[in-house]
Amino acid sequence: MAVRAVRGAVQLERDESAHMHDQVGELLTAVLERNGLTADDLISVWFTATPDLHADFPAAAARKLGIVDVPLICAQELDIAGAMPRVVRVLAHVETGLAKSEISHVYLGAAAALRKDIAQ
């Protein structure tokens, strides 16, 4: 098994806790499914949120999914003029047999525009 990093992002429609939980939950589920992973394969997960998101911690969505024994951390994205608003990004460190080139990075909805080079 190798340690790999998986990236992803989702743009929220509004700054509400339930909406954040739904969207971040969908993102994490897609990251796991598209890479053939389970929660046991997670080493740690880093979340960032744009400065316009205040309703909740993105990591709370992971806990709702049952990811309870994995270190999670949240941070704020840089406040850059013109940046896409209401975005939650994820960087998951995982144990997997996949090669780097086989990792599926997940950018849902409008967030796909953030990384057209790796979004799948």
The residues annotated as belonging to the active site are 7, 63, 74, 77, 89, 107, 115
In three-state secondary structure terms, 116 is coil
Tokens of 89: 């990004």
The answer to whether the CB of 86 falls within 8 A of the CB of 15 is: yes
- CA 79-53-109 angle, to 5 degrees, is 90
C-alpha 99 chain-centroid distance: 20
Rounded Cα distance, 118 and 112, in Å? 9
Rounded Cα distance, 70 and 22, in Å? 19
